[in-house]
Amino acid sequence: MSQKSPSRQRRRKAHQQPPCPPPAARPPYTLCDPGFSRLKPQSDYWEEDLPEPGEQPMASPRLIRVSELNDTWMEIPRYEDRISWWGAWLMLPISLIPIPFIYIYARLPEFDNQTSLGFMVAIFVFFSIALYHFRMAVFVPRGKPVRLNRKRQKVYVYEHKRGWPWFPWRTTIKVFDWADVRGELIRRSDIYASGYELSCAVCKPGTYEVVDRFSLNYQGGSIPLKSVWSHCCMYMQGRRVPAAPVIRHVPASWTPVNTIRWPEALDRESTTAPGE
């Protein structure tokens, strides 16, 4: 019985091994497109890397919305289309409707104390749901702003995080160096949001290692969002950019209460040049 040579056995074993799975990336659009992001870690919804702040823009500059634009600073409101604010107003009375009926049943004599306690817990749950929707409809800031100060070359991101209805909802302001910000298009497809989103990745200086991310514009077409990024890059370079945005009116579902409050020190810093 003939024995196979070691080299032939190695070739046969290598042939039998399953191929390595391809990297989790979309197919390239063009021959120059690698199909994966240069930023690490890559966003789960990554679609395309945009030019760096100092590179040549790929689209004509134009903002979708703008609150303030002058020679020192610019403020962009971020209206969150993925949340139905009208739905919060609708859910508020729906959450309150069961409470009086539960209370009446809890007072009936045929129910013992343990059952009545369960009814009280149900009342607390429905009231908490109603309070959550009330706070979201009235007090959650719409158009959470991002300020770009080109004299300081800084970005100021206003973030608001919702939580349990009985506890304070935190507002934080993050400050980044514009030179460390990289633009990227992401594309979501779920029940709450569907479409392109302009995301900004904050990297360690001189690297593509991402340490934080924030959204610059939530939903829109890929070309308008590229124009927003081009506008920001050209503005921070000190170049002339259009002052008129695409959309000038305030959305009908804007919050009835202005809850955007900048701390005095950051408000002054984000709207002035060094030395002023």
Number of domains in the chain: 2
One domain, residues 232 and 124: no
Q: What is the CATH number of the domain that holds 191?
A: 2.30.29
Taking the C-alpha atoms of residue 57 and residue 232, their distance in angstroms, rounded to an integer, is 10
Amino acid (one-letter) located at 270: S
Q: Are residues 54 and 163 in the same domain?
A: yes
My answer on whether 221 and 104 are in the same domain is no
What residues make up the domain containing 100?
Answer: 86-138
Is residue 73 a part of any domain in this protein?
yes
**How far, in Å, CA of 36 to CA of 50, rounded?**
12
Q: Quick one: how many helices (H) and strands (E) in the chain?
A: 6, 9
* Domain co-membership, 101 together with 218: no
The whole-angstrom separation of Cα 139 and Cα 212 is 26
Nearest to 261 by CA among 145, 134, 176, 131: 145
156/236 same-domain check:
yes
d(CA 72, CA 109): 70
The answer on 222 and 194 residing in a single domain is: yes
The one-digit pLDDT tens for each residue of the chain (276 residues) are 445 455 555 445 444 444 444 445 666 665 556 677 899 999 888 889 999 988 888 889 999 999 999 999 999 998 876 566 777 788 888 888 888 877 777 777 776 666 777 778 888 999 899 998 888 888 888 888 999 999 999 999 999 888 888 988 889 999 999 999 999 999 887 656 678 889 999 999 989 999 999 999 887 788 999 999 999 999 999 999 998 898 887 766 566 777 888 999 999 999 999 987
Domain-ending residue, one of 104, 138, 172: 138
- 31 located within any domain: no
Which residues 6+ apart lie within 8 Å of 250 measured at CB? none
Enter the pTM of the model: 0.79
**Residue 7: φ, ψ to 5°:** -65, -40
- 220 with 164, same domain? yes
